[in-house]
Amino acid sequence: METRSAPVHDRRSMLQIVGALAAALTFPQEALRAQPVLRKPPRLKRGDTVGLIKPAGYLADDFEVQLVMEAVTAMGLVPKAAPHLGSRFGYLAGQDKDRAADLHAMYADEAVRAVFAVRGGWGSARILPYLDFDLIRAHPKLLIGFSDITALHLAFAARAGFATIHGPNAGSSWSKYSWDNFKALAFAGATPLLANPAAQEDRLVQRAWRTQTIRPGKAVGRLLGGNLTVLTSLLGTPYLPNFDGAILFLEDVDEAEYRIDRMLTQLALAGILGRVAGVVFGQCTNCRATTSSIGGFTLSEVLRQHLEPLGVPVYQGALFGHVDDQFSLPVGVRAEIDSTTGTLRILDPAVA
């Protein structure tokens, strides 16, 4: 008997129905409430004091801390270390309550204008139950970082009501490209068009930093996302924002293709993918299985299987994630995706 696949619009309708049912069963009601009006933290200027926290992993070498201090100073800012910045508890930068207390201290300090995560690793989600979101909400300040800091970005988007910046951690290498992108958002309050640069290659056709259109089109929505693994680990918790009509951005590192497949499957079954207006998949660094298997899928094939049927604009390869040169993305701010040209336009300033 011949079988035919459903048209794209029918498949998307089915995905939305399944997503809505899954969301109602899986998500706490607080995560599904209408989002508050987005407030804007103050923009940064030279001479501002910024707080340094380690909500996840620790830095093993004092010299690395010195490099962080020097990098922040080179930005024209004054670094202020959180009280437990030098602590260690196993692979974490101190006990959970102490790391949460450091974040509280930086948000309560009127002299601190923004808060940098020194590094990622693992552990940000562990402090979420200890966070005082009333305190954080009352003191809107930019939170800057990426990777494991995704847990804080998403929780802030759900509970704090102001923009944060998915960008380099304070301990990142801070190339000129990354610095220029961050400075435009956080200091100038710019609304840039984010497009991968042309690679300087001695080739007839550019190979590095290429984007691939998975499904062409344009869409506007609230920019939400971050590290795929961290986002997936927050499913079923009250720390996810409402993804209805969002532009979902994702990146990851050291994950084999089948694990990306598994996480995207979970996002679909939980009702996330069926609700977004567009998807930008950034860099997936070292995302390749270490052992080959017959009939294995490539990353691009996995992405197409999950994202093309959504019926929304999708592209792959944007310059954010675990790479030296990366965009800074304002979480919670409206953006427009153009998956045909592989660009993301920020529509509103992230700062006042």
The one catalytic residue in 84, 104, 124, 147 is: 147
153 included as an active-site residue: no
308 included as an active-site residue: no
* In the chain, alpha helices (H): 8-26, 29-32, 62-74, 96-108, 133-138, 150-159, 176-186, 228-233, 257-269, 299-307
* Sign of CA pseudo-dihedral 335, 338, 339, 341: negative
Angle at 257 between CA 17 and CA 278, to 5 degrees: 40
The one catalytic residue in 84, 251, 257, 306 is: 251
166 included as an active-site residue: no
Tell me the angle at which helices 257-269 and 299-307 cross, rounded to the nearest 10 degrees: 10
Nearest of 141, 166, 112, 158 to residue 352 by alpha carbon: 141
The one catalytic residue in 104, 153, 166, 322 is: 322
Q: How far from the centroid of its chain's Cα atoms is residue 283's Cα?
A: 12
Interatomic CA distance for residues 54 and 61, integer angstroms: 14
Q: For the chain, how many helices (H) and strands (E)?
A: 10, 14
Region of 346 on the Ramachandran plot (φ > 0 left; ψ -120 to 50 alpha; else beta)? beta
Do residues 303 and 297 make contact, with C-beta atoms less than 8 angstroms apart? no
Interatomic CA distance for residues 103 and 203, integer angstroms: 48
Known catalytic residues?
A: 147, 251, 322
